[in-house]
Amino acid sequence: MSRLPRSVFSERSRRASTRLSFAHLAVAIVVFQAAAAACSSDPNDDDGSGGDATEAGAGPVGATGGDAGAPDRGGTGGEGGSAIGASGQGGDGQGGDGQGGDASGAGGEAGSGATGSGTIRGFTWDLPEGFPVPVVPPDNRMSNQKVELGRHLFYDERLSANGTQACATCHRQDLAFTDGLTTAIGSTGEAHPRNSMSLANVAYAATLTWANPLLFNLEAQAIVPMFGTEPVELGLNGMEAELLERLAAVPRYQELFDAAYPNDDDPFTLVNVVRAIGAFQRTLISGNSPHDRYVYGGDESAISESAKRGLDLFGTEKFECFHCHAGFALQDSVNFVGKTFLETPFHNNALYNIDGLGAYPAPNTGVHSVTRVPRDMGRFRVATLRNIAVTAPYMHDGSIATLSEVLDHYAAGGRTITDGPDAGDGSDSPLKSSFMVGFTLSDQERADLLAFLESLTDEEFLTNPKFSNPWPQ
């Protein structure tokens, strides 16, 4: 394979580029870093990521912690790890002189261990009340110019091989950056096995995608849809040089890349592409729903009396909702500046039990598909409840159509499928979360819980021009 014509590689990497494309090289780097990150995971965490480095890196997963043995996961085996430039698990903090904490992270100009705003090289976080400062990799500091470049790239169909899709195809702003489909459809028409997750507050995610315990930041994640082959998403594998040529030929990008990376002799590199996309995605912060105005703003009129009753129900042991959907993010897998311990929980919510032993239908076996550890069967990352009313259908495979049906699922303590290849009683799964206990639900309680969930819709986020398509329509 010929070399890339621009400064994507170091000299040592350039000599290797006759054998490896940038995508393969980047994936190899990510896998190596994933193995190091996996060493710090807690093997005793009941809802953890699948154990320590021995479990995550040995046997069928391969010595590097990537997936060396399963050809059906060619993308997921290398999508774990930190960033292209090695930032660990997103970094320990912003460093420097934090506003509300010790900000003990590596590098950085400024940060905040508390809620509110912090400034980093001219970039100011405009955070909602109650929101901490997101972790930013030390090799990809935020800047307004980088964010603007990332917004253009996010919406640009040049980032697919056939020019038919962009990141925004599967992540629509009006749907809280989901796509409304049961499962996503790639640029070649290939159906994907999983539902498109919301990108709302993705800057706070401790791990990314539905079930990869080794994928910690947005720069590494961007590689997967761009260059992955199973399934094909944007379909750019083997087209690295052509992609950069496409972008460099656009006058607007000449301005944007130069502004975002003023110290680079040639800013048109794949590393810079994924860094800009990651920077833009970190700004997709949602925190101005009626619920927020009521809870954080003290506006008693922001939500209905029914929604207030639903909020109270949500926090009771009867329904157990708050255990997994907690805090400002309304999910339990979060990271931010000043967080003492990084936790990466995954849960089995009893959607399937096809063999009586808790099995989920392949290839959607959750964290198990990465680790091959039996107890990881059916464990997935909890999705945020923010904007949940506009992100149907629900669950990792989009198999539940409405929020009312979601309540039915949890009330039953698991789903029963009576016939077909996926038949089984999820409520009897030996692998289901201890929080899946089931409950009775009156008509009034159902209405109140639904009113609460609908109060989590942030209309400003769904229409904010800062997050919208910058290209002429």
What does the pLDDT look like over 39-63, one tens digit per residue? Answer: 333 333 333 333 333 233 322 223 2
High-pLDDT (> 70) share of the chain, %: 74
User: What does the pLDDT read at residue 363?
Assistant: 92
Distance CA 461, CA 471 (A): 19
Confidence of residue 121 (pLDDT cuts 50, 70, 90): low
- pLDDT-based confidence at residue 83 (cuts at 50, 70, 90): very low
Give the pLDDT band of residue 90 (cuts 50, 70, 90): very low
DSSP designation for 158: G
- Among the residue ranges 41-55, 180-194, 405-419, the one predicted with the least confidence is 41-55
pLDDT at 25 over 80: no
Question: What is the structure's pLDDT at 167?
Answer: 98
Residues in the chain: 473
Other residues' Cβ atoms within 10 Å of the Cβ of residue 316: 11
CA 332 to chain centroid, in Å, comes to 13
Strand spans (E) along 126-185? none
Spatial contact of 423 and 361, defined as CB atoms under 8 Å apart: no
Question: N- to C-terminal Cα distance for the chain?
Answer: 37
Which pLDDT does position 9 carry in this prediction? Answer: 29
**CB count in 10 Å sphere of residue 24:** 18
The phi, psi pair for 63, rounded to 5°, reads -65, -25
User: What is the predicted pLDDT for the residue at 151?
Assistant: 98
> Degrees (nearest 5) of the Cα angle 45, 51, 52?
120
Q: What is the mean pLDDT of residues 182-199?
A: 97
On the question of pLDDT at 331 being above 90, the answer is yes
Residue 31 has pLDDT above 50, yes or no: no
Give the DSSP per-residue string, 217-276: -HHHHHHHHHH-BTTBSS--TT-HHHHHHHHHT-HHHHHHHHHH-TT-SS---HHHHHHH
Q: What does pLDDT average to over the chain?
A: 81
Q: How many CB atoms lie within 10 A of CB 143?
A: 19
Q: Provide the whole-model pTM.
A: 0.78
Average pLDDT over residues 431-457: 98
pLDDT in tens, 452-470: 999 999 999 999 999 999 9
Q: Is 121 left (phi over 0), alpha (psi -120 to 50) or beta?
A: left
What per-residue confidence (pLDDT) applies to 153? 98
> Which of 6-20, 25-39, 114-128 has the least mean pLDDT?
6-20
User: At what angle are helices 22-38 and 218-227 packed, to 10 degrees?
Assistant: 140
Span 220-236, mean pLDDT?
Answer: 96
pLDDT at 247: 98
CA angle, 211 then 32 then 120, to 5°: 80
Query: Which among 98, 86, 96, 101 is positioned nearest to 137, based on CA atoms?
Result: 86
Q: Which residue, chain included where needed, has tokens 């697919």?
A: 160
Name the 3-class secondary structure at 305: helix
Contact in structure between 455 and 291 (CB atoms under 8 Å): yes
Distance CA 106, CA 182 (A): 40
Decide if pLDDT at 34 tops 80: no
pLDDT of residue 150: 98
- Contacts with 321 (C-beta within 8 Å, 6 or more apart), sequence order: 314, 315, 410
- CA angle at residue 201 from 237 to 462, to 5 degrees? 95
Query: Quick one: pLDDT at residue 122?
Result: 73
Element containing residue 416 per DSSP (H, E):
strand 416-417
Hey, what's the torsion of the CAs at 315, 319, 324, 327, to 10 degrees? -10
Burial class (CB in 10 A: 0-12, 13-18, 19+), 98: buried
Tell me: pLDDT of 37 over 80.
no
Q: Residues 283-309: what's their mean pLDDT?
A: 97
In the chain, the percentage of residues whose pLDDT exceeds 90 is: 74
Average pLDDT for 374-385: 98
Walk me through the domains of the chain, giving residue ranges and CATH numbers: 290-460 (1.10.760.10)
DSSP 200: T
| φ/ψ bin of 84: left (φ > 0), alpha (ψ from -120 to 50), beta (otherwise) | alpha
| b/e map 211-250, b = 16+ CB within 10 Å | bbbbbbbbbbbbbbbbbbeebbbbbbbebbbebbebbbee
Instruction: Compute the distance between CA of residue 209 and CA of residue 194 in angstroms, rounded to an integer.
Output: 10
